[in-house]
Chain A
Amino acid sequence: MNSFYRFFYHLTRLILGAVFIYASLDKILHPGAFAQAVFNYQVLPGQLVNLTALILPWVELILGACLLSNRWMTGAAGLAAVLMTVFIGLILFNLARGLNISCGCFSTNPEEGPMDKLTLLRDALFLVLAFCLVGLTYYKKSNYHKNQLYTV
């Protein structure tokens, strides 16, 4: 892995790690408010709303910690890409049907304002970063295996 790829790999993992951890904190602190935000999306059956509101922030937190600490990177990068894809899909879905709800992405405060195209743009940027990180992680991993082959 040359220095450019290494720099970009560490930059993307640190940015995404910080974003996921920051996004998780308010949700973990206010589970009731986040459950309301999840419910407002109107995509989950009522029985799954609270479970999702409880588990998702911890996935974000642990995922973010993995990215920051450079551990379990293929799983963390893949999961980050999947989560960002799902989040963008949900935002697109609700923008398309004109639902006037808060994103709940970084704050559980319902007065933070409804999601809009800027929310979509911001998440699209994170999605691009996540896919870049998946590519760089696989590249790093394949290099590692190749080196293993040469050293055996």
Chain B
Amino acid sequence: MQQSDVLRQSLMDTVREACLIILLSLVAALAVNLARTDSIPFIQNWSIEERLSQDNGDSLAIPLSEAETLFKENKAIFLDARGQELFDEGHIKGARNLPWHAVDDYFSEIIKDMDRETPVITYCDGESCNLSHDLAVFLKNMGFTHVKILVNGWTVWVENNLPIEATDK
């Protein structure tokens, strides 16, 4: 058998075996998902509206205009769910940093002067950023009654030239 034949044979084996592994995986994945009680739909709507709608049909999202009004009237606390480094680089003026990835470390300190009835607006950055959503759900579970999410908050806030600040070091 020539070297080129060996290589060709090996490549054919690679493709055939890889296809078999993928095919087996496909069958196993679909069969197990059909059989299990906590199955997920094969195709799901991942739009922002769908992800932020609550069981009662209300949306967790707050329009920028409403967030801006609450900001100007100083009636809401803005919570930045991003990491501290990004928060220090720039954030909504007066916002507090409650990084979702370290929420247990910061939570008590951040909320110590907050009433559970205080309107809270969480935000992060990016249309699909999930940190603010996870933080909002966490806060609701912790008893906060007026929690909203400003979707893509940092970007829309900056694009609309609303007040921002950086952390002095």
- Quick check: A40 and B130 within 8 Å, CB to CB? yes
- Quick check: B128 and A54 within 8 Å, CB to CB? no
B94 within 8 A of A: no
In the complex, residue of chain A having the shortest beta-carbon distance to the beta carbon of B50: A46
Among candidates A39, A40, A146, residue contacting B1 with C-beta atoms closer than 8 Å? A146
A128 within 8 A of B: no
Return the CB mask of B51-91 against A: 1 if under 8 Å, else 0: 00000000000000000000000000000001100100000
Bound form: Cα–Cα A28–B25 in Å: 12
- Quick check: B28 and A58 within 8 Å, CB to CB? yes
Q: Which residues from A are CB-within-8-Å of B131?
A: 100
Return the CB mask of A39-68 against B: 1 if under 8 Å, else 0: 110100011011101110111011100100
- Quick check: B33 and A31 within 8 Å, CB to CB? yes
A76 within 8 A of B: yes
Q: Closest approach, in angstroms, between the C-beta of A45 and any C-beta of chain B?
A: 9
A75 within 8 A of B: yes
A133 within 8 A of B: no
Among candidates A32, A61, A78, residue contacting B40 with C-beta atoms closer than 8 Å? A32
- Quick check: A114 and B13 within 8 Å, CB to CB? no
Q: Known: A46-B46, A50-B40. Is A74-B29 also a contact (CB below 8 A)?
A: no
Which of B14-22, B110-118, B139-147 lies at the binding interface? B14-22
**Chain B interface residue bracket vs A:** 35 or more
Q: Which residues from A are CB-within-8-Å of B45?
A: 46
- Quick check: A141 and B124 within 8 Å, CB to CB? no
B47 within 8 A of A: yes
In the complex, residue of chain A having the shortest beta-carbon distance to the beta carbon of B134: A110
Bound form: Cα–Cα A62–B44 in Å: 25
Among candidates A31, A50, A55, A74, residue contacting B26 with C-beta atoms closer than 8 Å? A55
A11 within 8 A of B: no
- Quick check: B14 and A59 within 8 Å, CB to CB? no
- Quick check: B100 and A47 within 8 Å, CB to CB? no
Among candidates B1, B39, B100, B124, residue contacting A31 with C-beta atoms closer than 8 Å? B39
- Quick check: B9 and A145 within 8 Å, CB to CB? yes
Q: Nearest 4 A-B pairs (CB), nearest first? A: A75-B17, A46-B46, A58-B25, A72-B17
- B binding-site residues for A, Cβ under 8 Å: 1, 3, 5-7, 9-10, 13-22, 24-26, 28-30, 32-33, 38-47, 82-83, 86, 100-101, 103-104, 124, 126, 128-131, 134
23 A-B residue pairs with CB within 8 Å: A31-B39, A32-B40, A35-B40, A35-B44, A40-B130, A46-B44, A49-B44, A50-B41, A51-B42, A54-B30, A58-B32, A59-B21, A59-B25, A62-B25, A74-B14, A75-B13, A75-B16, A100-B82, A138-B10, A141-B13, A142-B7, A145-B5, A145-B6
- A binding-site residues for B, Cβ under 8 Å: 28, 31-32, 35-36, 39-40, 42, 46-47, 49-51, 53-55, 57-59, 61-63, 66, 72-76, 78-79, 82, 98-102, 110-111, 113-114, 138, 141-142, 145-146, 148-149
